[in-house]
């Protein structure tokens, strides 16, 4: 069946999650952050994801913003920066203004011109996602922004992927699900979606049930793939 609906993960897929630390490290007087920002950003993202997985297993759900703050606190402490409260607040503020990757607006515009339905399906809570979408200026290309908050569990729980069929009344084989997270693409493949893993880092394939249907290094050719 033809692809009618293109659904994107948000953080790391459409929005550059390393940008907050990178941008702040470029400011004058941020010498210590400039030395460690790549590792700080990596640890922040890793802990953010790990905490969603653990909370999904234990049932201790909390909004993604709380997970994001907890992950940052761990990453800051690892770098000996946890007592710099101004730095913490500055990083958190920038997380609401993450830029989209450079190819995202044109890619979404081409999908819409081709008549595809486009949406976000994210662990992020609605106000976080609204801030990121508005900051990146991509709201006009999206038919919906779906958050796990409506089901109270993080990806890759199947209840999250259910949201796509419920919102758009489409069949699973009409959906192209796109994520930069290998585990997310694998989970969506096992669920029944056609999937694209955006493997920006050139990582090995995850050893999980479900294998991504396609693998690309960025989002540029998604419209051609969807066609």
Q: Which of 9, 16, 43, 184 is catalytic?
A: 9
Q: Closest Cα to residue 15, out of 145, 110, 111? A: 145
DSSP lists the bridge partners of residue 195 as 177
Cα 90 from Cα 101, distance rounded (Å): 21
Do the Cβ atoms of 79 and 88 come closer than 8 Å?
no
Do the Cβ atoms of 187 and 156 come closer than 8 Å?
yes
Cα 141 from Cα 1, distance rounded (Å): 23
Q: Closest Cα to residue 227, out of 53, 132, 111, 108? A: 111
Q: Closest Cα to residue 225, out of 214, 209, 210, 211? A: 214
Relative to beta strand 175-179, strand 144-147 is: unpaired
Do the Cβ atoms of 75 and 50 come closer than 8 Å?
no
Q: Does residue 9 carry a catalytic annotation?
A: yes
Instruction: Kindly list the catalytic residues.
Output: 9
């Amino acid at each position: 069946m033809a692809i009618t609906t293109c659904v994107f993960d948000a953080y790391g897929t459409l929005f550059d999650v390393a940008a907050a630390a990178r941008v702040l490290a470029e400011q004058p007087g941020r010498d210590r952050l400039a030395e460690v920002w790549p590792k700080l950003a990596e640890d922040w993202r890793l802990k953010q994801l790990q905490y969603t997985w653990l909370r999904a297993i234990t049932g201790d759900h909390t909004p993604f913003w709380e997970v994001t703050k907890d992950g940052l606190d761990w990453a800051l402490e690892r770098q000996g920066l946890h007592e710099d409260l101004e730095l913490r607040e500055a990083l958190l503020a920038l997380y609401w203004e993450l830029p989209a990757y450079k190819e995202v607006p044109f890619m979404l515009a081409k999908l819409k011109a081709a008549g595809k339905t486009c949406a976000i399906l994210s662990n992020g809570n609605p106000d976080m996602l609204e801030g990121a979408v508005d900051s990146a200026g991509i709201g006009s290309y999206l038919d919906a922004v779906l958050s796990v908050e409506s089901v109270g569990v993080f990806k890759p729980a199947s209840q999250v992927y259910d949201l796509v069929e419920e919102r758009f009344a489409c069949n699973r084989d009409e959906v192209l699900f796109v994520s930069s997270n290998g585990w997310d693409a694998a989970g969506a493949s096992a669920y029944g979606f056609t999937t694209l893993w955006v493997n920006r880092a050139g990582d090995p394939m995850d050893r999980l049930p479900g294998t991504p249907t396609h693998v690309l290094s960025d989002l540029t050719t998604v419209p051609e793939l969807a066609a």
